[in-house]
Amino acid sequence: MTEQTDAVVVRYDVDRTVATLTLDSPHNRNALSTPLLAQLRQGLGAAAADPAVRAVVLTHTGGTFCAGADLSESSGTPEEAAAERTRDMTALLRQILELPKPVLGCIEGHVRAGGMGLIGACDIVIAGPGSTFALTEARLGLAASIISLTVLPRLSSRAAARYFLTGERFGPEEAVTDGLITLSTGDTAAALADLLAEIRECSPQGLAESKRLVTARILEGFDRYGDDLAAQSARLFGSAEAVEGMTAFLQKRPPSWARTR
């Protein structure tokens, strides 16, 4: 069941120069539904336009930061639905990267599929000890097409090959070592407060221009590969294997190609 478009699934708060965007749809593990994507983009736009905001924090309620695409949503053919999701997700990731203010992810839970793209787009990511990460697309007959634009620049090449191809879960210590997140800590609130205190010492211009330096090459990837990856995503979502993989996922059963150990 998808969310009503008038339901608040992303909360927006501003306190002491920091805008906090909280993914608040725990019933579907903060899946990237159409309302959640729209409200997240709206919140990012509000933060960008507010001269009092120096930084943005992206966080969540519930035990999952983001489970990826909302596979229960359907609109048109699988290819059409995938194309629409891809356009929305690409625009969101680019908006995070182009925001002239640092975006800090604060994670206390599980991150899957499209959620990995979100944290890849963040400038700094803090994760608690119970957090887990996985790129599960290959297990559904898909590939991490669009989110590869933000995930691949963060991960080491060996880690990317392993996690893109196995779909296995890994923890925050591995995520730090492999470059996906900035730090793992048992007290994310304290670590976040320390980082924000440092950011408040920086000028708005200094922050904006410094962020441009660290995101420029990632954004080049959007311009160079974005169209091909969008086409790949649409093609895969319309394939028989992906239909079987997503159906099996929703029915909570193994897909036809799964083998017992």
pLDDT digit string (tens) for 86-95?
Answer: 899 999 999 9
pTM: 0.93
Written as tens digits, the pLDDT of the chain (261 aa) is 344 557 999 999 999 999 999 999 999 999 999 999 999 999 999 999 999 999 999 999 999 999 998 877 666 676 777 788 889 999 999 999 999 999 999 999 999 999 999 999 999 999 999 999 999 999 999 999 999 999 999 999 999 999 999 999 999 999 999 999 999 999 999 999 999 999 999 999 999 999 999 999 999 999 999 999 999 998 998 899 999 998 998 899 999 998 765
- In whole angstroms, what is the distance from residue 153 CA to residue 117 CA? 11
Is residue 66 within 8 A of residue 22, CB to CB? The reply is no
Beta-carbon contacts of 156 under 8 Å, excluding residues fewer than 6 positions away, are: 178, 179
pLDDT digit string (tens) for 2-32?
Answer: 445 579 999 999 999 999 999 999 999 999 9
H or E element, residue 125: strand 124-127
Number of C-alpha atoms within 13 angstroms, CB side, residue 17? 15
pLDDT digit string (tens) for 38-71?
Answer: 999 999 999 999 999 999 999 999 999 999 988 7
CA torsion, points 213, 216, 218, 219, in degrees to nearest 10? 150
Place of tokens 């992303």: 10
What domains does the chain contain, in order, with CATH numbers? 1-189+201-261 (3.90.226.10)
Quick one: pLDDT at residue 83?
81
